[in-house]
């Protein structure tokens, strides 16, 4: 295969709403460049991009797919991404390694819900943007309305480069404002005829061309001077100004397409070649230590991995971008994340399911290799004499958490191994074991995301699973001081069991003064694994309990704190003073004092005005302004405390403190309330008291379960 230097490699990500035609456009670009001889169709399940069984079953993209095309001595790496927000874990890595985003809009729908969502992710990566208005041959296509919506949503940087002469089923002519020519296509698309702009379109074309020239000129002082002198810019000057504008994100060029009928893709590829920036022209990549790594062809090799894929017969395939230098087979690189040395075997460029070997990959290029032992997604590999670590990919927190278990208990180990492999492929799948409830919890971006996980487990790993709602991790504590004692006595004929423990418990808080009225001999502070503290005091005087039994008393108390008296939830933030008791020279032992400590603590806890605490999340909900009222009402019905609202363009961000127990499947409710246009994030804030009525109900439910058990 032909090798391209860094300046002739362009990396684009195809982004947009579900159904906007990204996969069809990718297929057409490959066909137009002659890399495939027949264009596949999503409906026929034979496109290069959508090649997995899951994508064939769903009829849409599920994974981000690497492709490439060659056009007029340039190589264009294409990352075709899914259009559903639940699959953002596939989209974000593509955004990270792309140098230009091609935002595909369907001309019949304009800016859709999915478009707004993907735009939010694009904003965080500050990449140049090209807008491709696709499906102009659709009967309901409306180019002008789509452009107007794009300007309303994305700002005045939206700049028309082309417009259609006609739309709908008769679409076949495009006015190009850069070249000031009309492209006329045959019914089956392909290479157009270049013609002069008709008289009926001349005034509109000239007005739009003038707008384009002004947009290009305002990005560079020299170009602005040329424009004032000549009243015009030549084609090369226009390209230069547009490139600067794209990199400043002050210009989002708009192109016209019918990807299905192969109209306009060649002109789009030509613009990507000539104007879109290459990796070596982009700003340096940020490093963890605050520095930056420029993309240089003559520098030592540095790789950034952005995807890991497990293939049944091959093993792990690692996809990466060469951030600098040249990569060749046989090189040994150090993984800065793990410290492991990895030997690079074969190098490939990837076309969907096909891999093509190459001898080298230059700076800025995208490729893949096999069987890296200690490398995962978002790792940095570099030459042994370097110290480089690129900033990792920031994946979103889960929006939906469900318990997961195998229907057959014998498959639990197989399920766990499968989940670890899937998590390595998709870092937005988050696994967590809830110790207090003994539940395995899996987090994802929504119901669709977790349903796709279920499909993989059942079809690829042959593990039947079931989901459920996780138990809320409540905590128990106390609000006042209480005392209790317990005597444990058991006689079995031989040596018996005897222990008596008197103790006092109090609420613990930071900076609380030391307890009064007792003689403190020893103090231990224990950070509890479930949060909070236990402060344990030995206040025994006169030797009524031997020091050797104090660890047993402490052990009994800590075991009871693991499953508190109210609901079986962990207790926290308590201090205990053991101040009296009795022992027997023969019958006292560790087991006796452990039991006595447990029972005395339990009785004291129930007398100390016990309180159930619930986790409260800090929630931010981003919704269109016109839908804010319904969302606010729903949040208030979930016992939320609204902390404030702030505007973000056409959206409002509602900030609230909401109990975790009220957020079960909230992502599904929010999607329904906002027609899919709302998103939210949450993070743990604090434990706060449960309302009295709810505490009574939870305690009652726990007691009923205990009776049944």
Decide: 380 and 337 in contact? Cβ < 8 Å. yes
Residue 709 above 60 pLDDT?
A: no
Tokens of 436: 């207090």
Lowest mean pLDDT among 1-10, 235-244, 299-308, 533-542: 1-10
Whole-number pLDDT of residue 1? 60
Pairing mode of beta strands 533-538, 522-527: antiparallel
pLDDT tens per residue, range 247-292: 999 999 999 999 999 999 999 999 999 999 999 999 999 999 999 9
Predicted TM-score (pTM) of the model is 0.85
Distance CA(625)–CA(633), nearest Å, equals 14
**SS3 state at 311:** strand
Residue 693 above 70 pLDDT?
A: yes
Q: Which residues, including other chains, have CB under 8 Å from residue 691's CB and lie 6 or more apart?
A: 639
pLDDT tens per residue, range 44-65: 899 999 888 888 888 888 999 9
List, as one string, the DSSP characters of 135-162. -TTSTT--HHHHHHHHHHHH-TTEEESE
Decide: 549 and 588 in contact? Cβ < 8 Å. yes
Whole-number pLDDT of residue 312? 83
Decide: 280 and 7 in contact? Cβ < 8 Å. yes
Name residue 658's beta-bridge partners: 617
Residue 177 banded pLDDT, cuts 50, 70, 90: very high
Domains of the chain: 6-281 (3.40.50.300), 291-382 (2.40.30.10), 400-468 (3.30.70.870), 476-608 (3.30.230.10), 612-694 (3.30.70.240)
pLDDT tens per residue, range 547-580: 999 999 999 999 999 999 999 999 999 999 999 9
Distance CA(145)–CA(163), nearest Å, equals 12
pLDDT tens per residue, range 310-346: 988 888 999 999 999 999 999 999 999 999 999 999 9
Per the prediction, the chain carries an average pLDDT of: 93
How far does Cα 456 stand from its chain's mean position? 19
Residue of 44, 33, 88, 41 whose CA lies nearest to 64: 88
Residue 188 above 80 pLDDT?
A: yes
How far does Cα 309 stand from its chain's mean position? 17
| End-to-end Cα spacing for the chain | 69
Cβ-in-10-Å burial (0-12, 13-18, 19+) of 129 comes to buried
Residue 620 banded pLDDT, cuts 50, 70, 90: very high
Residue of 659, 651, 571 whose CA lies nearest to 611: 571
Report the share of the chain in percent with pLDDT over 70: 99
pLDDT tens per residue, range 651-673: 899 999 999 999 988 988 998 99
Decide: 592 and 553 in contact? Cβ < 8 Å. no
Residue 352 above 90 pLDDT?
A: no
Q: Which residue has the higher pLDDT, 76 or 311?
A: 76
Give the CA-trace dihedral at 84, 90, 93, 98, to 10 degrees: -60
Distance CA(694)–CA(707), nearest Å, equals 20
Name residue 78's beta-bridge partners: 12, 67
| CA Rg value for the chain | 32
Whole-number pLDDT of residue 708? 61
Q: Which residue's entry shows tokens 């009295």? A: 692
Encode 495-560 in three state secondary structure: CCEEEEEEEEEEECCCCCCCCCCCCCCEEEEEECCCCCEEEEEECCCCCCCCHHHHHHHHHHHHHH
Whole-number pLDDT of residue 365? 96
Decide: 100 and 277 in contact? Cβ < 8 Å. yes
Decide: 501 and 485 in contact? Cβ < 8 Å. yes
pLDDT tens per residue, range 405-421: 999 999 999 999 999 99
Stretch (H or E) spanning 708: helix 692-708
Q: Which residue has the higher pLDDT, 113 or 538?
A: 538
Tokens of 600: 């005395």
Distance CA(235)–CA(176), nearest Å, equals 12
Residue 131 above 60 pLDDT?
A: yes
pLDDT tens per residue, range 363-403: 999 999 999 989 999 999 999 999 999 999 999 989 899 99
């Amino acid at each position: 295969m032909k090798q391209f230097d860094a300046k002739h490699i362009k990396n684009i990500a195809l982004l947009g709403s579900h159904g906007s035609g990204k996969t069809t456009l990718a297929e057409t670009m490959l066909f137009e460049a002659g890399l495939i001889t027949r264009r596949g169709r999503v409906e026929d399940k034979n496109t290069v991009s959508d090649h997995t069984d899951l994508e064939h079953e769903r009829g849409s993209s599920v994974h981000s797919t690497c492709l490439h095309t060659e056009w007029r001595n340039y190589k264009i790496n294409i990352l075709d991404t899914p259009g559903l927000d639940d699959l953002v874990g596939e989209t974000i890595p593509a955004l990270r390694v792309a140098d230009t985003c091609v935002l595909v809009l369907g001309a019949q729908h304009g800016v859709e819900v999915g478009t707004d969502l993907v735009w939010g992710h694009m904003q965080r990566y500050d990449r140049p943007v090209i807008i491709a208005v696709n499906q102009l041959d659709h009967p309901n296509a409306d180019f002008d309305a789509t452009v107007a919506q794009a300007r309303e949503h994305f700002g005045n940087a939206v700049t028309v480069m082309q417009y259609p002469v006609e739309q709908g089923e008769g679409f076949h002519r495009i006015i190009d404002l850069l070249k000031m020519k009309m492209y006329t296509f045959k019914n089956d698309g392909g290479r157009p005829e270049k013609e002069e702009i008709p008289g009926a379109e001349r005034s509109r074309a000239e007005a739009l061309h003038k707008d384009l020239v002004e947009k290009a000129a305002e990005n560079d002082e020299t170009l602005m001077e040329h424009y004032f002198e000549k009243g015009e810019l030549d084609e090369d000057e226009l390209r230069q100004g547009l490139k600067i504008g794209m990199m400043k994100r002050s210009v989002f060029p708009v192109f016209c397409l019918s990807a299905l009928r192969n109209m306009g893709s060649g002109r789009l590829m030509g613009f990507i070649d000539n104007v879109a920036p290459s990796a070596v022209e982009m700003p340096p990549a940020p490093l963890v230590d605050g520095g930056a790594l420029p993309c240089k062809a003559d520098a030592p090799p540095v790789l950034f991995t952005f995807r890991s894929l497990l293939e049944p017969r091959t093993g792990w395939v690692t996809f990466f971008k060469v951030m600098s230098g040249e990569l060749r087979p046989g090189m040994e690189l150090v993984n800065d994340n793990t410290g492991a040395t990895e030997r690079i075997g074969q190098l490939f460029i990837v076309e969907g399911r096909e891999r093509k070997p190459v001898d080298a990959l230059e700076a800025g290029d995208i490729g893949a290799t096999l069987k890296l032992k200690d490398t995962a997604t978002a790792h940095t590999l570099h030459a042994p004499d370097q110290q480089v670590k690129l900033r990792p990919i920031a994946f979103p927190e889960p929006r939906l958490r469900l318990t997961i278990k195998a229907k057959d208990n014998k498959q639990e180990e197989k399920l766990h191994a499968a989940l670890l492999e899937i998590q390595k492929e998709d870092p937005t799948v988050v696994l967590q074991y809830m110790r207090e409830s003994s539940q395995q919890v899996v987090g994802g971006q929504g119901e669709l995301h977790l349903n796709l996980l279920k499909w993989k487990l059942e079809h690829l790993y042959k593990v039947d699973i079931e989901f459920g709602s996780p138990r809320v991790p409540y905590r128990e504590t106390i609000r006042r001081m209480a005392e209790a004692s317990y005597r444990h006595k058991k006689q079995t004929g031989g040596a018996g069991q005897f222990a008596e423990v008197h103790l006092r418990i109090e609420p613990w808080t930071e900076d609380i003064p030391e307890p009064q009225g007792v003689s403190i001999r020893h103090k231990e502070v224990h950070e509890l694994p479930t949060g909070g503290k236990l402060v344990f005091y030995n206040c025994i005087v006169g030797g009524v309990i031997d020091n050797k039994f104090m660890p047993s008393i402490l052990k009994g108390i800590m075991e009871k704190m693991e499953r508190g008296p109210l609901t079986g939830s962990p207790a926290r933030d308590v201090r205990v003073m053991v101040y009296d008791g009795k022992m027997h020279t023969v019958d006292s032992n560790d087991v006796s004092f452990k039991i006595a400590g447990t029972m005395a603590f339990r009785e004291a806890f129930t007398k100390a005005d016990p309180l159930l605490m619930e986790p409260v999340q800090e929630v931010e909900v981003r919704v269109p302004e016109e839908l804010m009222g319904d969302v606010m009402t729903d949040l208030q019905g979930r016992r939320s405390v609204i902390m404030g609202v702030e505007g973000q363009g056409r959206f409002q961000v509602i900030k609230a403190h909401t109990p975790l127990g009220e957020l079960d499947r909230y992502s599904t409710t929010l999607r329904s309330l906002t027609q899919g246009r709302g998103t939210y994030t949450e993070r743990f804030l604090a434990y706060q008291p449960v309302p009295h009525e709810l505490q009574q109900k939870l305690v009652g439910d726990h007691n009923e379960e205990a009776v049944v058990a």
